[in-house]
A and B are shown apart, each in its own frame.
Chain A
Amino acid sequence: MIEAATPSDTTPPDLTREPMELPATRPLRLQALTRGDEGFVLSMAYSTQRGYGRTHAFVGELRIGMVAVEVEIPELGFAVEIGEVELTECETVNQFKGSKSEPPQFTRGYGLVFGQSERKAIAMSLVDRALRWEELGEDFTGAPAQDEEFVLMHCDNIQATGFLEHIKLPHYVDFQAELELVRRLRSEAQAMQEAAE
């Protein structure tokens, strides 16, 4: 009745050590969503509830717990446990009437996020499920939450904040180039208009 989640021993790619490759594998997508901005992920999830790539989610599991954090020190070549961190995990069970390639069954969405944040964990599960349209043989309806490149490339708020705030830096060289261009275009347009009169 529910899709099989086949265990795998394959080492997943590490988003912090390899560049994002598109199309992304599910482990890479999940890593990006975990790191993603809560507001962004929430809005994407909410949009699926309102029909933009509907996900029909029920909460199957929602739990909060502590896990150990290990850091691998490149110069040392081994991992050191540096502490514990709180995580919230969510697994959704999603209605699915089947597709050309898959029988009717319940499908899964998964969320794992830092801290006590049921909202982000559930939201992540919905977005994960929406992004799985291709492997489940669903149609791409053009919904933003189904659009892997759009979601994954814009969910990181450290990247977004930095790039947004960089426009505080001086840009007067580019501005000067643009200023000269606009002046030239305007004077030529004016000359043409005067010639026409």
Chain B
Amino acid sequence: MTDYNFAYLDEQTKRMIRRAILKGIAVPGYQVPFASREMPMPYGWGTGGVQVTAACLVPEDKLKVIDQGADDTTNAVSIRRFFQRTANVAVTEATEEATVIQTRHRIPETPLTEGQILVYQVPIPEPLRFLEPRETETRKMHELEEYGLMHVKLYEDIARHGQIATSYAYPVKVEGRYVMDPSPIPKFDNPKLGQNPAIQLFGAGREQRIYALPPYTEVVSLDFDDHPFQPSKAAHDCDLCGAKDSYLDEVITDDAGGRMFVCSDTDFCAGRRAKGHTGRLGEAA
């Protein structure tokens, strides 16, 4: 078979997903159930994000796909190829050029702009899941805005560890109403969620949920007055481009404990190097 409906999904399905997206945008942070379809990729590999992207794409779009911040990771490469083949859309690695960006585990370092759509792949959309495994219970807790359990968990962290011991998928409160799971992005990325000019859409295929943050939404990482939220990263600069403010991967370089720290956002790092910035191990472009 060589012909696909544009972006793989049939038009009825896209309509159904768009309705869920619109509902999500109308009620920021609320998890909208949707009839997730079986996709030609395994669950847990971005089926939710792919369906959301498919429902958003138009032929004029320019698509960027990243996993762990990188365009050349296996999941990102597969999904980018999938849409090249089924939607024939242009693709890019440059954050500022992209109209739709599908991501797993990161928000790009380059600030997003109005008109861009950021689509997150979400494994477990329910922020309360590991406190209460039953969906029937957690939906009630959201309805009643009963988030005491989450605050108790964060408080117990502080009592035991002196700080909130959550480093990624750090829960946020949206517009003072819904507690939301931002997907497993490092908490370093949390400040980028709020007041973002782009539309942020979250797709969880296996769990059949879509949720959204419209542009310029108020998003607050949960914390306490005396233990304010702190984004964190490795205390280094990028060894290739010298960036002081980007999220870093730690790469082991030999068997003697040698290591380097490099930007996880490959486009951001390459862009800085192209402009002549260098780090400890970098060479000027």
Interface of A toward B, CB cutoff 8 Å: 16-23, 74-75, 149, 153, 158-159, 161-166, 169-174, 176-181, 184-185, 188
**Of B69, B73, B74, B208, the contact of A20 (CB 8 Å cutoff):** B208
C-alpha gap A33/B38 in the complex (Å): 17
C-alpha gap A80/B254 in the complex (Å): 60
- Which residue of A has the minimal Cβ distance to B105? A173
Q: Does B168 contact A (CB under 8 A)?
A: yes
B264 A173 Cβ-Cβ under 8 A: yes
C-alpha gap A20/B45 in the complex (Å): 20
**Of A21, A158, A174, the contact of B186 (CB 8 Å cutoff):** A174
15 inter-chain pairs at a CB distance below 8 angstroms, sorted by A residue, are A16-B37, A18-B35, A23-B136, A158-B38, A162-B43, A165-B44, A169-B67, A170-B75, A171-B68, A174-B167, A174-B168, A176-B186, A176-B247, A177-B186, A188-B161
Residues of B near A23 (CB, < 8 A) are 136
**Of B42, B167, B188, B248, the contact of A178 (CB 8 Å cutoff):** B167
Say whether, besides A169-B74, A172-B68, A181-B167, A74 and B250 are in contact (CB < 8 Å).
no
A185 B165 Cβ-Cβ under 8 A: yes
Residues of B near A22 (CB, < 8 A) are 135-136
Residues of B near A181 (CB, < 8 A) are 165, 167, 232
Residues of B near A164 (CB, < 8 A) are 44
B234 A176 Cβ-Cβ under 8 A: yes
Category for how many chain B residues contact A: 35 or more
Q: Does B258 contact A (CB under 8 A)?
A: no
Say whether, besides A75-B11, A162-B44, A174-B168, A21 and B5 are in contact (CB < 8 Å).
no
Q: Does B34 contact A (CB under 8 A)?
A: yes
Rounded to whole Å, the gap between the CB of A18 and the closest CB of chain B is: 5
Majority DSSP secondary structure for residues of B touching A = loop
Rounded to whole Å, the gap between the CB of A183 and the closest CB of chain B is: 9
A75 B5 Cβ-Cβ under 8 A: yes
Residues of A near B123 (CB, < 8 A) are 163, 166
Rounded to whole Å, the gap between the CB of B50 and the closest CB of chain A is: 13
C-alpha gap A21/B233 in the complex (Å): 40
- Which residue of B has the minimal Cβ distance to A160? B43
A19 B11 Cβ-Cβ under 8 A: no
C-alpha gap A163/B67 in the complex (Å): 16
Rounded to whole Å, the gap between the CB of B82 and the closest CB of chain A is: 15
Residues of B near A153 (CB, < 8 A) are 135
A177 B135 Cβ-Cβ under 8 A: no
Q: Does B162 contact A (CB under 8 A)?
A: yes
C-alpha gap A71/B188 in the complex (Å): 47
C-alpha gap A184/B157 in the complex (Å): 14
Q: Does B28 contact A (CB under 8 A)?
A: no
Residues of B near A16 (CB, < 8 A) are 35, 37-38
**Of A21, A74, A173, the contact of B13 (CB 8 Å cutoff):** A74
Say whether, besides A169-B75, A170-B68, A19 and B250 are in contact (CB < 8 Å).
no
**Which residues of chain B (226-243) have a CB below 8 Å from chain A?**
232-234
